[in-house]
Amino acid sequence: MIIVMRSEATEEQVMAVDERLRALELASNISRGRERTVIGAIGDDRKVQTETLEAMAGVERVIRILKPYKIVAREWHRDDSVIQIGGVPLGGRTVQVIAGPCSVETPEQMDVSAAAVRAAGCRLMRGGAFKPRTSPYTFQGLGEKGLEYLVNAARQHGLPVVTELMDVRQLDTFMRYGVDVIQIGTRNMQNFDLLKEVGRVDRPVILKRGMAATISEWLMSAEYIAAGGNHKIIFCERGVRSFETAYRNMLDVTAVAVLKRETHLPVIIDPSHAGGKAWMVPSLARAAVAAGADGLLVEMHPCPNEAWCDADQALTPQELNTLMGELRGIAAVLGRDL
């Protein structure tokens, strides 16, 4: 941490900052220049509130050098992490596509969906049993019965499952049904009690970005999970809220490049929730793989016009199959496979 003093700062003000740092169990190094005095704080300053130092007389600004997140930071773990999900690696050379319907509806729908996911070449399946909806009057998911339909269908086709956890009270149920990957949705990115709980279980977690969350806030949410002992975290960019109304959310492809620099953990993209329309999904998915994403979270429904949730953004099985072929070509150019 570096504390830059104002040009008119007195010697007493400089020494007061020095004493405060020592009280915080940090060593200090005072550098007196021609126009500015700079104080370097030496030690682990992550628990120090920069605001308290900036409020001191004579201080112009405080610059934090160490990142507030540690476990998820690349500076502490230089190599890319590869997370194993039921024998399927996420991260590394292979790009994984997680596909399936937005919501679990019937056993028949899930059986057909699982077969289509497998036929397209996807190795993981998604499906929502518990659905966070903007309106309390729309379909909220089948709950535990939906988990049963999802797991049964996926297992028949050898597919690990991904589904969203909304409440800490549902965690034991998820574990009992053998959910392979727990998804923390956009609205719960900063539900810190929920993050702490999934941090205590040995199960991969997909952490979606909040609608208006900065990358720093997103990384700190991941740190909550990692601090509990669970380091199997996958970041999922799903678009952020903007002023634009032509599409559902603004897909931040730049986040892939930034996260790849900041963290060693895998990064995937959800093009379905970003665009909000099925016709946009292939373009966004291609851009995601070209940008270096480790995977995609894609909505596919056997008959989208009959879907109980987010029908507009679901691909048909044939569209998913076509998309997978296109993505293989892009991945190959980058020295990856699909």
The pLDDT value recorded for residue 47 is: 73
pLDDT reading at 293 higher than 90: yes
Q: Give percent above pLDDT 70 in the chain.
A: 99
Summarize pLDDT for 168-210 with one digit per residue, the tens: 999 999 999 999 999 999 999 999 999 999 999 999 999 999 9
Give the pLDDT band (50/70/90) at residue 10: very high
Average pLDDT of the chain is: 92
Cα–Cα nearest to 311, from 299, 324, 298, 323: 299
Q: Return the bridge partners of 103, or none.
A: 128
Q: Give the mean pLDDT of 39-62.
A: 86
Give the pLDDT band (50/70/90) at residue 35: confident
Q: How far apart are CA 71 and CA 82, in angstroms?
A: 15
pTM assigned to the model: 0.84
Least confident range of 57-66, 233-242, 275-284, 297-306: 57-66
Least confident range of 115-129, 131-145, 302-316: 131-145
The pLDDT value recorded for residue 311 is: 83
* More reliable by pLDDT, 265 or 141: 265
Q: How far apart are CA 137 and CA 81, in angstroms?
A: 41
Give the pLDDT band (50/70/90) at residue 271: very high
Give the pLDDT band (50/70/90) at residue 32: confident
The pLDDT value recorded for residue 137 is: 67
Alpha-carbon torsion angle 29, 32, 36, 42, nearest 10:
0
Q: With residue 193 as reference, give the H or E element that holds it.
A: helix 192-198
Which domains, from first to last, does the chain contain?
2-63 (3.30.70.1140), 74-333 (3.20.20.70)
CB atoms within 10 A of CB 329: 11
Contacts (Cβ under 8 Å, ≥6 apart) of 116: 300, 302, 317, 320
* More reliable by pLDDT, 132 or 63: 63
Least confident range of 45-49, 123-127, 148-152: 45-49
Residue 157: left if φ>0, alpha if ψ -120 to 50, beta else—which one?
Answer: alpha
Contact 267, 303 (CB under 8 A): no
Q: Give the mean pLDDT of 24-35.
A: 83
Q: Which tokens is 161 given?
A: 């499952």
237-240 long-range CB contacts below 8 Å, 24 or more apart?
Answer: 237/209, 237/267, 237/268, 237/269, 237/270, 237/274, 237/293, 238/186, 238/208, 238/209, 238/269, 238/270, 238/273, 238/274, 238/297, 239/270, 239/273, 239/274, 239/275, 240/209, 240/211, 240/212, 240/213
Distances (CA, A) of 17 to 24, 41, 52, 180, 215: 11, 10, 11, 50, 31
